[in-house]
Amino acid sequence: MSHAQSPFADVKTVLVVFSSRAMAFDQGGLRNLITYAYPGSVVFFVSASGDPVGVGAPSKVDLVIDFTEPGARQSKWFAFSMRGTGKHVVGRTAGWFYRKWKYDRVYDATSDSNLPKDYLESEAWAQKRVLELAGISVVRHGGVTMDLSKEIASTLPPMQNR
């Protein structure tokens, strides 16, 4: 998405809630992706329990991105506190049904037929979907491919002498 297509306008402060089990992105990578989508924004991080990671966040922010996964040990009131903290809130269904009503956009893994079977791959998939719901594009990375330089040369037509 380009800056003009971002679903939320005037985002200057972003709060990211880390997953307690696995993260597909590190702090620097997330900060880079978010500030590219929302130029001039300041990004803060908290753990799934709400404890600050690094610099503490202000009491009110423009956007909350909640990566909390289903089954996380968390207060059932956490979704309510995130809704009170953020003007816009994006996250995942995480066991408590409140999120579907309280959050602006919610990714539901149970209805996603493309979700990988491997746990770590499915976490990365779900976190990318949450970022996309927040208007943050994630470039898909390909794996390392085989070196085909010797095979390519043998399939080229012969060079003609002039």
Q: Is the pLDDT of residue 30 over 70?
A: yes
Looking at 6-10, 56-60, 96-100, which range is the least confident one?
96-100
pLDDT value of residue 97: 63
Q: What is the arithmetic mean of pLDDT over 106-126?
A: 87
Looking at 25-39, 78-92, 139-153, which range is the least confident one?
139-153
Structure tokens at 76: 């059932």
How much is the pTM? Answer: 0.77
In this prediction, residue 15 has a pLDDT band, given cuts at 50, 70 and 90, of very high
Q: Is the pLDDT of residue 4 over 60?
A: no
Which one, of 82, 54, 86, lies nearest residue 68 by Cα? 82
Which one, of 68, 55, 63, 58, lies nearest residue 35 by Cα? 63
How far apart, in whole angstroms, are the C-alpha atoms of residue 127 and residue 22? 10
Residue 65 is given by DSSP the state E
